[in-house]
Structure 1
Amino acid sequence: MSVIKINAITVPEGSGDELGKRFAARHDSMDGTPGFLGYELLQPTDGRNTWLVITRWESEDDFENWRNSQQFQKSHGNTADDAEPRQKPVGMSAELWSYTVSVTG
């Protein structure tokens, strides 16, 4: 059964488009990651300023292995990689939610 991780990212008013651009620029960065099944970035349409990043994984271990990897550190600006200048974070806060699929239709 797959594991679902949802990162709820709250952004300042008017900053959501920048979040979308950053995700689009790194669209293929997860290719080849063991256990990674896909992701979606959901943009709010009801006036909220919380965007949802939904990722699907084969297992909890696959997610944790990625989360503890250099790939994760690099994609989240947590390394001193001179090849890519650090960008100021778009989000003001983030909350990670964990789910498994209960029923499919």
Structure 2
Amino acid sequence: MYAVTNAIRVKKGYASQLVERFRERKGIEKSPGFIRLEILVNEQPEDHDEVRVCTTWESKEAFLGWTKSEAFRKAHDQRGRERLEYVLGNQMYSYEVALSFEQ
């Protein structure tokens, strides 16, 4: 399995607005190899909130397939035209899943 996270820093108090934008998916759930999407909110930093978008895939190749798809382009197309004033920045991380346990 392969996991990718996007840690998005937002102005304090704006995490819920960003989370709301993810409620309506734009095709990721239909992408071959997609397993799950989770949105985590960290309100602990004093100067900002963090919204972490976590996706899990069957493989790195499945994730890369999503990034090259028309659905991905459409889902991210709006980013170039509209910069959300409350977004401070982001950092992407990717991982090979070494161990997973579910009950």
TMscore range, shorter length: 0.7 to 0.9
RMSD: 2.3
Distance 1:79 1:100, change over 3 A: closer
Segments of 4+ moved more than 6 angstroms: none
TM-score in terms of structure 1 length: 0.77
Letter of the structure 2 residue corresponding to residue 32 of structure 1: K
Contact 1:73 1:79 in 2 (8 A): no
**C-alpha offsets along residues 2-34 of structure 1, whole Å, 9 cap, x if unaligned?**
0010111111222211111101132x6322211
Alignment correspondent of 1:8 = 7
Distance 1:68 1:92, change over 3 A: farther
Identical columns (%): 30
| Number of equivalenced pairs | 98
Please give the alpha-carbon distance, in whole angstroms, between the structure 2 residues aligned to 1:43 and 1:4: 17
Structure 2 unaligned regions, length at least 5: none
Q: Give the number of the structure whose residues are more often strand, by fraction.
A: 2
Please give the alpha-carbon distance, in whole angstroms, between the structure 2 residues aligned to 1:94 and 1:77: 17
Please give the alpha-carbon distance, in whole angstroms, between the structure 2 residues aligned to 1:39 and 1:17: 17
The 3-state SS of whatever aligns with 2:28 is coil
Contact 1:11 1:93 in 2 (8 A): yes
Q: Give the number of the structure whose residues are more often helix, by fraction.
A: 2
